[in-house]
Amino acid sequence: MSDIEIRDERDKGLLVARTVGEPESAALGYIQYFVVDAPERALVPVHTVVEPEHEGRGIAGSMARELYAIAAREGIAVAPLCPFVAQWAARHPGEAPVAPPELMDAAGRALADDPAKW
């Protein structure tokens, strides 16, 4: 995975994996997410995509790991609505703290109120 870099494009709501040294290269994959502020600030991943020709290289897991690392650095939570990220978090409890139920409910309501977030 050393040839992959993962960048947070917060203004677009994307965590994007690209080839190192090729900033304008096509995305290898991405996690689409949004931010909620209440009941606490959190990143809310809703969709994970890895381009078919790059599947099986651990890119999706690396992006999920980086999403949780970003949240940890910022001192905020992750409320995973994306099934892949939720499954990854369940398999990596030491890296992925469980979001409280009220935060998951708030994230779900935010998505229902604005489906364009997906």
Per-residue pLDDT of the chain (118 residues; tens, 9 = 90+): 458 999 999 999 999 999 887 666 689 999 999 999 999 999 999 999 999 999 999 999 999 999 999 999 999 999 999 999 999 999 999 999 999 999 999 999 999 999 888 8
Residue 93 CA to chain centroid, in angstroms? 16
Which residues have C-beta within 8 Å of that of residue 90, sequence separation ≥ 6? 96
pLDDT, residue 10, reads: 95
Using CA atoms, how far residue 7 sits from 47, 90, 93, in Å, is: 16, 23, 23
What is the CA angle 9-27-68, rounded to 5? 50
pLDDT, residue 2, reads: 58
Residue 115 CA to chain centroid, in angstroms? 17
The secondary element (H helix, E strand) that includes residue 75 is none
